[in-house]
Amino acid sequence: MPEGIYQLLYLNPHSRFHVSMKVSYPNEFDRRHAAADGRTRLGGDIFIHGDAVSIGCIAVGDTAIEELYTLVEDTGVRNVRVIIAPNDMRNGRAEIAPDGPRWIGELYRDIANALAAYPARLEHQ
C-alpha cells in the first residue's frame, strides 16, 4: 500500500466495490525515489473504496465510503488531499526500520507536516 500525500483523480460511482475514488499514486515523490532506487514497477490503480476486501487498495466499507464520497463530491475532487500514513503521526512518530529506504525519513517528515494542519482528536478516557 502506498504511503504519502496524494490527490484524488476522480470519483467512480459504478465501482465493483460499491463506489470508489482514484488516488494519484504514484506521485512525483514516488516516481523520483523509485528511479533513484532503480525500481520500475510501481503499480498503480489505487482506489479508496467500499466493501471489505482489497488487493492493494484501501477498503473502508460501504458506509464509510458513502460518507467520504459525498464529502468529496460536495468539496470537489480537486480540493481534496489524501494523506496515507502508517499511523497517526500527530500522536507519535512512525517507526523507521533500520533496513528501510534512505528516503523514508523525508517521506515521514512530509506526512507529519501535512498532518500537523489537522488537530488530533482526543480519546475518551
Grid coordinates representing 39 are 525500481
| DSSP track, 56-115 | SSEE--HHHHHHHHHHHHHH-GGG-EEEE-SS-TTSSPPP--TTS-TTHHHHHHHHHHHH
Number of helical H runs and strand E runs in the chain: 3, 5
d(CA 53, CA 61): 9
Q: Percent helix, strand, coil in the chain (nearest 5)?
A: 30, 20, 50
Task: Give the residue numbers marked as catalytic.
Answer: 49, 57
